[in-house]
Amino acid sequence: MKRKLPLLIVMILGIGMIIQYFVPHPFSMEIYRIVLDWMIIIGAFYLVLGIGGVLIINYHKIKRRKENWWLSIITIVALFFVALVGIFNGVTSETLFMKIFLNIQLPMQAAIFSLLAFYITSAAFRSFRAKTAESTVLLIVAIIIMIGNIPLSRYVPGSSMFSEWILSVLNLAGQRGILLGVGLGMAATSIKIILGIERSYLGGGE
């Protein structure tokens, strides 16, 4: 019963959501709104579980004095401090919470994303080596697109137009193919979950 009941609930809700999409009746739309409200409630519980996981992981790091364990202390203190500031002082534009967000969190995010640029450059350098015919084509197309998107393009006739054509025709066709494959994969997985074939979310097993 522990496994059959969740499978039955998933099947009923899955079929109900499919019917609601194709039958936009006021009753079905109201059911859909209620389901969305419940998703928000469940998401709030997931947030609690996430915070609990962060606290448990960092607590064990501090307890066992693992490498850089003092960073876990900063993480826990910052978590509670920002949460309390937001709860008691609000989150409007002039509050301490928003100042922390704008002056600490956003610059840290920008620094992390800027580090990704070096990894992307390194990966591009390794990928754009003309060892095969495919990599040669990739290298030529990448050079054309880069030239077409920098001020140098004004001195190279037709580079901007050719670069735009590659992005709007060849690249878009590839993206549509990928999205089509993703959509078919999602549909297949959803059908397997609704029919009870895919049960990994129950912990595996029969």
Dihedral sign (CA 6, 9, 12, 18): negative
Is the pLDDT at 187 greater than 70? The verdict is yes
pLDDT > 70 fraction of the chain, expressed in percent and rounded: 96
Give the burial string for 11-35 (b: 16+ CB within 10 Å, else e): eeeeeeeeebeeeeeeebeebeeee
Q: What is the pLDDT of residues 104-131, one digit of tens each?
A: 989 998 898 888 878 877 777 776 676 7
Helix (H) or strand (E) holding 159: helix 159-165
Q: Which of 195, 175, 167, 187 is nearest to 10 (CA)?
A: 195
Q: CA-CA distance, 83 to 59, in Å (whole number)? A: 18
**Across 54-63, average pLDDT:** 92
pTM above 0.85, yes or no: no
Other C-beta atoms within 10 Å of 103: how many? 10
Two tokens at 16?
């109900």
Is the pLDDT at 73 greater than 90? The verdict is yes
**Dihedrals φ, ψ of 27, to 5°?**
-65, -45
Is the pLDDT at 97 greater than 70? The verdict is yes
The confidence score (pLDDT) of residue 162 equals: 86
- 90 dihedral zone (left: phi>0; alpha: psi -120 to 50; beta): left
- Residue 150 in 3-state DSSP? coil
Q: What is the pLDDT of residues 27-39, one digit of tens each?
A: 888 888 888 898 8
Assess contact for 193 and 201: CB atoms under 8 A. Answer: yes
Q: CA-CA distance, 147 to 149, in Å (whole number)? A: 5
- Residue 93 in 3-state DSSP? coil
The DSSP output letter for 171 is I
Least confident of 79-83, 123-127, 180-184: 123-127
Token look-up 């580079």 returns 159
CA 4 to chain CA centroid, nearest Å? 31
The single-letter code of the amino acid at 135 is S
